Structure 1
């Protein structure tokens, strides 16, 4: 899962809007010509639970939910669709959109009303800042305040923080002196400082080299505070997880909510010096839509706090490892939490 490079906040061109519309139309036409429905349109039917019908909501109240086209976003998008349907809205499901910028433009143009977005993505990619803010609360507040001028309201974020991290296979923790946090890397012999990373992480300004420097290590050095280049393998994202699990390297780059962390029995090292930016997921709603239907806040007020890293790893794993449909995964979790009930 790649979040992309930072993009200036002013990149809101007519060309991009046309591209989004053209892409949507092309996909829709292609599917219609084949007599198929897009996979993203499937959502199990659900009745209200703790999420109740919004009092006074008009019978014709309509809302559009959008999300990006990777597993976690699909699950979060389906959660939003199910929640808002239970609240009484006629929901248009516009999840599975290719790319962060396309989703952003749909929100800015008012063609979508709600999405789950990451604080770090908005700060770095959409708003054009060069450095993220590691403190989750401060990062959220900065994004919330800045995006208000763009007609978007950020509701309180979830505990889930889908940021970068390093992980170690659980079976090697004791072999490596009981390591649990990044600051302990410098205590290991140079020969044990072996890493598997993807090419983007290896070159990002918030990536591998500056992370090592933050923790007192030098990439390319063979000294006692070094990580020789021979100790670093550049691999595809998926391969990093399996290579870390099978011992090809002691430490691998991961995303903290990836289901493979659990399925491959990896252990995330604590970022105890707060290097990595915060990427907490939060509901983002068009301000005009929220002004019209303020009850949307209540729909997510009880739901969002339940979305922890452990929960997202479990839900993502059900899709990526067990092969379940994102809509079913979202529905089953929401029923288990009592947010909705099965018809």
Structure 2
């Protein structure tokens, strides 16, 4: 989404304002839980948070309803903010579970890590060495939502754009947009790897795809499961240098707040969730304007999880 990936003037502003297949590849992160971890059925409330974009809210709702179906007490705190805000809250125990994107999380913790250009197991293996003792990854879903640089069909045709590399020598005349944190996260990566410097960066958030279509920006950070890529006939540029990494949807948990019942329920969600399914869910949320909680419930029923 996501990434989303990937972070600090913008991050600081967000912090003040708050007051984007395979299992994880790192074994069972909860095999030796903290002595403070609640036993199954302890009745401890699991607090599920989400970032402030629709897909992450949808994923958080899927997690929440899957846990409730197993008798876990849940409190929902959705639409909180960016990773820069959420990560600290999870580490402190104010939140218990977050829907994360493994490559984006690794990029946040270690932007130079060589595993970023690898697959799910490489990314999760590297993450296992970077996470603090309080946190753990559960199983990654096959579903991925990658960051991208995307353009309109008109811009792609006019400038002969197929990959991010094709923006070299052209970016200085183009306006780029995306979520506010995208600039700090990705501007250095684009400059260092592709030599790109843009005319202007605009914070466009959820309106990025529409801004590409109406021409107010020429390049945008659109998550690859965004159904508007299809409905607005946008063109996602390939990323030959893999700066946006693998982005499997992955539950990130505070180990002291989840028990075996919660862990199993979340891993079953990951086992069922793939990219095509997530894209279809996002069409219902983003295009058809259905309630994320209703969409989440339908998916869980269809997959036998509630």
> Equivalent residue for 2:192?
210
- Structure number with greater Rg is 1
Q: 2:130 aligns with which of 146, 155, 165?
A: 146
Matched, 1:5 2:2: no
- Specify the SS of the correspondent of 2:148: strand
> Equivalent residue for 1:304?
270
What TM-score, normalized to structure 2? 0.70
Matched, 1:313 2:297: no
> Equivalent residue for 1:31?
none
User: CA–CA distance in 1 between the matches of 2:60 and 2:76?
Assistant: 8
Shift of 1:268: 2.4
Provide the aligned C-alpha RMSD in A: 4.0
Aligned CA distance change for structure 1 residues 174 and 325 (closer, same or farther; 3 Å) = same
Aligned CA distance change for structure 1 residues 249 and 339 (closer, same or farther; 3 Å) = same
Shift of 1:294: 1.9
Q: 1:197 aligns with which of 176, 193, 206?
A: 176
What CA deviation, in whole Å up to 9, does each residue of 1:168-193 have, x standing for no partner? 4468878887x75556x38x9x7899
In the alignment, is the contact (CA less than 8 A) between 1:66 and 1:77 conserved in 2? yes
In the alignment, is the contact (CA less than 8 A) between 2:145 and 2:225 conserved in 1? yes
Matched, 1:116 2:99: yes
> Equivalent residue for 2:65?
82
Aligned CA distance change for structure 1 residues 195 and 311 (closer, same or farther; 3 Å) = farther
Aligned CA distance change for structure 1 residues 115 and 141 (closer, same or farther; 3 Å) = same
> Equivalent residue for 1:223?
none
User: CA–CA distance in 2 between the matches of 1:162 and 1:5?
Assistant: 18
What CA deviation, in whole Å up to 9, does each residue of 1:19-72 have, x standing for no partner? 97xx5xxxxxxxxxxxxxxxxxxxxxxxxxxxxxxxx95384542222223211
In the alignment, is the contact (CA less than 8 A) between 1:192 and 1:250 conserved in 2? no
- Higher RCO (CA < 8 A, seq sep 6+): 2
> Equivalent residue for 2:146?
163
> Equivalent residue for 1:134?
117
User: CA–CA distance in 1 between the matches of 2:250 and 2:162?
Assistant: 28
In the alignment, is the contact (CA less than 8 A) between 1:168 and 1:252 conserved in 2? yes
User: CA–CA distance in 2 between the matches of 1:63 and 1:327?
Assistant: 17
Aligned CA distance change for structure 1 residues 236 and 134 (closer, same or farther; 3 Å) = same
Structure 1 unmatched runs, 5+: 24-55, 220-228
Q: 2:239 aligns with which of 271, 289, 293?
A: 271
User: CA–CA distance in 1 between the matches of 2:77 and 2:217?
Assistant: 40
Length, aligned pairs only? 274
Structure 2 unmatched runs, 5+: 20-38
